[in-house]
Homo-oligomer: A and B are copies of this chain.
Amino acid sequence: MTGAQGRKRDRKATEALIMKAVGTVLTREGFPGLTLKAVAAEAGVDKVLIYRYYGPIDALLTAYGQSVEFWPTVADVVPPEPEAISPAARLAYFLDRTTEELSRRPLTLELLAMEVGAPNPLTEALDTVREAWGRDVAQHLLGGSDPDPQLNVAISLVLAGIQNLLVRGRTTGIYSGMDIGSAEGWREIRASLPWLCERLLPSRPDPNPSTED
C-alpha cells in the first residue's frame, strides 16, 4: 500500500499521485484533515517527496489550485441561445445550472467553505476564478445592455445565497425551514427559481417588446 514498490521511479507519475491525493483527501476529510501525512498516505508516497517537489504546504495547495478545474465553465451555465429566450428565463437557466453544477462538485463546496473560515492559497485561486467567471457570465447573460445596479445586487445576493446554502447543505439539513441537505430539497429550491427570476425581470409584453423576436 505504501511506497514505490510496484512502480518505477518517475517523478511525473509521483506528482500526479500527489495531486490526485490532495483532491481525494480534501473531499473525504475536509480541510481540517488535509495534512501532509494524510496526503502522503493516500498517494502512497513519502511526505518528504511532497515537501521536496512542492515546498511548504502552502505551495502544495497553490500547485493543486492551478491543476484542477473547480468551477463550472461559462458554457456550463449559460443558455445555448440566450437571445431566443426572455431575460428572466436566461437568468433562471443560469441560476439553475449553476446550482446543479456546484452541487455535483463536493470539492468545490469544500473550498467555498474554507474560503470564509480558513483562507489559504487554494481558496485564493478559487476566489480569482470565481470573480472572472462572474464578469464573464454577466457579459453573456446581459449582452451589452446597461446593467441596472439594483438588479445586479439582487442577482448577486441570490447567487451568494445559493452558494451559502449549498455549502451549508454538506453538513446541515435545514435552513429557514427549507430542506437543503437532500437532492429532493434542492429540486424544490431550483423549481422556485423561474418564479423568482420572473419577479426580478418581468417580461411585460406591452411597453417595450424588445426581447421578442
Contacts and interface: CB of A to CB of B under 8 A. Distances in A.
A188 to B, nearest CB: 7
Interface string A120-144: 0000000100010011001000000
A125 to B, nearest CB: 14
Contacts of A149: 188, 192
- A interface: dominant SS: helix
A115 B117 CA distance: 8
Given A154-B199, A157-B161, A157-B162, A177 B134 contact: yes
Interface in A75-95: none
A200 to B, nearest CB: 6
Nearest to A169: B116
A167 B134 contact: no
A123 to B, nearest CB: 10
Interface string A169-203: 01110111110000000001100100110011010
Contact of A158 (B131, B150, B158): B158
Contacts of A53: none
A131 B199 CA distance: 27
Contacts of A127: 172
Contacts of A161: 156-162, 164
A171 B116 contact: yes
A62 interface: no
A31 interface: yes
A189 to B, nearest CB: 6
A163 interface: yes
A201 to B, nearest CB: 9
Given A112-B116, A149-B192, 6 more contacts: A113-B117, A118-B118, A152-B177, A157-B189, A160-B175, A161-B161
